[in-house]
Amino acid sequence: KAGVTQTPRYLIKTRGQQVTLSCSPISGHRSVSWYQQTPGQGLQFLFEYFSETQRNKGNFPGRFSGRQFSNSRSEMNVSTLELGDSALYLCASSSLGVAETQYFGPGTRLLVL
């Protein structure tokens, strides 16, 4: 089976812009979770989608949003970018959601200037 894929792998944006990141889960997996990883805070949970519905969310501002399509692919959007949004954004898929082992994609490294 192909693993989790994320596009783009690298991205440079400026403050105030918005960005959309994409994640394709492992075939057959219906849950996609998004995480932000920074050196200072480590891996932090953003939200989880399951069968096109947001099932859970972490403690991030409303500028961070996401959605999931019928084929389980997911997108994450960050509006009005801030310098502190510079991070590695990881998505992970699992077959039944947080109850099962999550498999991570390679991540999108976002740099906000």
Partner 1 sequence: GQNIDQPTEMTATEGAIVQINCTYQTSGFNGLFWYQQHAGEAPTFLSYNVLDGLEEKGRFSSFLSRSKGYSYLLLKELQMKDSASYLCAVRGRNSNSGYALNFGKGTSLLVTP
Tell me, residue by residue from 40 to 79, as one string, x for binding to partner 1 by CB under 8 A and - for no binding: -xxxxx--x------xxxxx--------------------
The residue among 59 and 70 lying less far from partner 1, judged by its C-beta, is 59
Does 30 interact with partner 1 (rule: CB under 8 A)? no
Residue for token digits 């409303």? 62
Nearer to partner 1, 70 or 101 (CB): 101
Q: Which is nearer to partner 1, 14 or 23 (CB)?
A: 23
> Which residues fall within 8 angstroms of residue 103, CB to CB, at 6 or more apart?
3, 4, 26, 29, 92, 93, 94
Token pair of 73 as six digits: 């692919």
List residues binding partner 1 (CB under 8 A). 4, 33, 35, 41-45, 48, 55-59, 90, 97-99, 101-107
